[in-house]
Amino acid sequence: MTTPPSAPSTHRPADRGTPSSVDHGAVADLRTRLRGRVVEPGERDFEALTRVMAVDVTGRPALLARPTDAADVVEVLRFSRAAGLPLTVRSGGHGGAGHGTVDGGVVVDVRDLTSIDLDLASRTVWAGAGLTAGELTAATAEHGLAVGFGDTGSVGISGITLGGGVGWLSRAHGLTIDNLLAAEVVTAAGEVLLVDDTSHPELFWALRGGGGNFGVVTRLRYRLRPVDGVVGGMLVLPATPEVVAGFVAAAEAAPEELGCIMNVMTCPPLPFVPQELHGQLVVMGLLCFAGPEEDGAAALAPFRALAPPLADLVRPIPYPEMFPPADPEYRPTAVSRTLMMRTVDLDLARTILGHLEASDAPVRVVQVRALGGAIARVPAQDTAYAHRSSRLMTNVAAFYSGPDDRPARAAWVAELSALLDQGDPGLYVNFLGDDGPDRVRAAYPGSTWDRLAAVKATYDPDNVFRRNHNVPPAAQG
């Protein structure tokens, strides 16, 4: 989510009932067997390395391992199993539930897996699971090529891929998982598998949307798309019911080359927006047209025609500029809820604006993304992301200052989300916070859940990889 990310509960332990100490002799032995680093509490950069985006997740891992390849991952899994320690995997650490850390356990931190092996002839790339979306986008853009990730450059490619991957190029080229060709995976049993649609095809199906339930992904092979620059940037419009409803209608009617996000929100102190509008409601549109530049103006004209822009920064740019530099210290406290919707008409636009006006949260936002296009052309059963027919993806969020005002922000988010619920039960797992098992179940409707549970039973029957939006293994026997 572009702004703001999810942080759904206050002072959550990273796990419960876990061991808090390790055998230091075993740790010393692990250090000798690893090419990568082992970092323990008290070491200089331990705190920085174990920090995740969700500021309200408490807990302290027993150690953090930074593998350099799949063989290192095997050793870390062997260590955690022998020590009886819980395990988690982290890359970007953006998840609102804070799954990238675990109290008293082992963090497998893949951020040193940053290899890039481009094959320009076949337009494919093998990419290390620790790369960020921004890093891989910059590397492939040098050749006029791209993988469609999300909208935030600091997100890890493995996390966003395993959850589905909704972003700027999704309507034109499909979700990230629709462009995933293969993956290298270390299973709970310590096997290193090369997985694709012919080798372990059920596991490959599950990896495409099923999250981190099935193993440690160390490398991913993607299909690359020709993207030689885009017409993109920010368009700030006045927040009126006509603009809100009209923006959504224009987004759905736009050519598939246009990806966009509408944030109806309090205006931050942007230097290019008049100061008197700072803190007032605006429609902040983020637009990305990945097609011929001469067609971009026509595709964007309906948005510019909604009202005289308060700011118009949409222009031809290199595609990597759609991923602006991230502030590593930015860790907002926010309550949010994600849902799918069918439409935003004038009445609903008035409801959105009325509730935003009524809140006194310093930052509050309703974010809407148009789906469809290439996303909808993939049959729902082909991947573990099953929401192919959903039209709009929506997030409702409010920032809070501390535990005293959080309950009021949570109540506001819940009330508005209920009013926006139009009966589409689906949700995008990558935007899911620590919302409980019922919400995880909603991310995987119908037979998708049963199929994921069967794959889990095959590749992780003991639920070693449970620090995630967990799909327990199906009962066997």
Q: What is the full per-residue pLDDT of the chain (477 aa) written as tens digits?
A: 454 333 333 345 555 434 446 888 999 999 999 999 999 999 999 988 998 876 677 668 999 999 999 999 999 999 999 999 999 999 988 887 788 899 999 999 999 999 999 999 999 999 999 999 999 999 999 999 999 999 999 999 999 999 999 999 999 999 999 999 999 999 999 999 999 999 999 999 999 999 999 999 999 999 999 999 999 999 999 999 999 999 999 999 999 999 999 999 999 999 999 999 999 999 999 999 999 999 999 999 999 999 999 999 999 999 999 998 877 777 778 899 999 999 999 999 999 999 999 999 999 999 999 999 999 999 999 999 999 999 999 999 999 988 899 999 999 999 999 999 999 999 999 999 888 899 999 999 999 999 999 999 999 999 999 999 999 999 865
pLDDT of residue 477: 54
Spatial distance between the Cα atoms of 176 and 234, rounded to a whole number of angstroms: 23
pLDDT of residue 16: 43
Please tell me the predicted confidence (pLDDT) of residue 98: 83
Cβ 65 vs Cβ 177: under 8 Å: no
The reported pTM is 0.93
Domain borders along the chain are 12-112, 116-226, 230-431
pLDDT at residue number 171: 98
Residue 35: its pLDDT value, please? 96
Architecture field, domain 116-226: 2-Layer Sandwich (3.30)
Q: Which two tokens stand for residue 65?
A: 């391992």
pLDDT, position 137? 98
Contacts of residue 422, Cβ cutoff 8 Å, sequence gap at least 6: 341, 342, 343
Query: What pLDDT is stored for residue 18 in this prediction?
Result: 40
Domain 12-112, CATH among 3.40.50.280, 3.30.160.270, 3.30.413.10, 3.30.43.10 = 3.30.43.10
**AA letter at 306:** L
What is the structure's pLDDT at 325? 82
Q: Give the model's pLDDT for residue 14.
A: 55
- Cα–Cα distance, 17 to 8 (Å, whole number): 21
Neighbour-count burial of 34, counting CB atoms closer than 10 A to its CB (0-12 exposed, 13-18 middle, 19+ buried): buried
Query: What integer pLDDT is reported at residue 1 of this predicted model?
Result: 47
Tokens of 230: 């885009």
Q: Say what the pLDDT of residue 276 is.
A: 94
- 364 burial (CB, 10 Å; 0-12 / 13-18 / 19+) is buried
Among candidate residues 231, 393, 239, 232, the one with its CA nearest the CA of residue 306:
239
Q: What pLDDT shows up at residue 95?
A: 81
**Where does 230-431 sit in CATH, by number?**
3.40.462.20
